[in-house]
Structure 1
Amino acid sequence: MHSRFQTRALSSFIALSACTMPALASEPITNAPPDQFAWERTAEGVGFAALDGNRFEEAYMAMVRLPAGLVSPAHTKSATMYGVVVSGVLVHTEAGVGKNEETRLPPGSFYKIPADLPHVSKCVSSTDCVTFLYQDGRFDFLPVQP
């Protein structure tokens, strides 16, 4: 009798496990060490290394490199941006905010810039600033008048 109980319990466990096991992934793991990034540089010297998605057509993820000392003009984006600073020190502020109100973002910092919010981005370190960036829509850069 004890043996029948164990057999039923084991059968139930196997059936339950089969129902709750995750399906096999249809895509393999993507690994991208930094020395394999394909950097593209804009006329302003900003580098983009695509990780997922085409930034000119859809939501995307990329590594972005801002040159040391770069200060962008005030601008907006049509999509919300989410980022994590990897190296350097960044500052993102709403357009018109004074220097005393800036928050310095060292490596490990997170930032979110809402869509359509006029802002200025700066790399305030003596080394280039690298950030992981996710944007929930296509890339654009829309200058705003001061």
Structure 2
Amino acid sequence: MKIGKLACLTAGLISVASLTPSARADDIKLAVQPELNWETTPEGVAFASLKGNRFDESYMAMVRLPAGLISPVHTKSAGMYGLIVSGEMVHLSENEIGGSEVVLKAGDYYEIPAHLPHLSKCVSEVECVTFLYQDGPFDFVPVGEGRK
């Protein structure tokens, strides 16, 4: 694991934006789980923004995936850095599909480089929750649609 990326992720966790707009810039910022505002995609993946607008800039969010969800092989234009909070996940590059799988559990870290074709799966019997930092705006380009 690259120490610089982990330090960036840790610094991001410390600076998470408050859900209370009246907080001063020098206050401790807290995001209490029951107050998170989850937005669910048609595929059932839910995002709770912590800092930044995921469609316009780099951002931090809590992400929930339904148990058993397997994404299609896709790419993202930005790098992704995540920490598993609950559940069990597998992330595979396109070249690793069909090979051995490392199951990530609570406390495990993952890093997916920008433009790397990959798939993600929630392999647990319960939903998977991750803390996610993405170093640019969110996109999801299924493989084949983004290639020329």
TM over 0.5: yes
Q: How far 1:123 sits from its partner (Å)?
A: 0.1
Tell me the equivalent position of 1:107: 106
* TM-score after normalising by structure 1: 0.80
- Aligned counterparts of 2:104 and 2:26: Cα–Cα separation in 1: 34
* TM-score after normalising by structure 2: 0.79
Question: Does residue 1:128 correspond to 2:134, yes or no?
Answer: no
Identity across aligned pairs (percent)? 59
Question: Does residue 1:49 correspond to 2:25, yes or no?
Answer: no
Tell me the equivalent position of 1:27: 26
Q: How far 1:99 sits from its partner (Å)?
A: 4.1
Aligned-pair Cα RMSD in Å: 1.5
In structure 2, what residue type is equivalent to 1:108? G
Tell me the equivalent position of 1:93: 92
Structure having the higher helix fraction is 1
- Aligned counterparts of 2:100 and 2:55: Cα–Cα separation in 1: 32
Structure 2 alignment gaps of length 5 or more: 1-23
Q: How many residues were matched structurally?
A: 122
Q: How far 1:133 sits from its partner (Å)?
A: 0.1
Structure 1 alignment gaps of length 5 or more: 1-24
- Aligned counterparts of 1:106 and 1:99: Cα–Cα separation in 2: 20
Q: Which has the larger radius of gyration?
A: 1
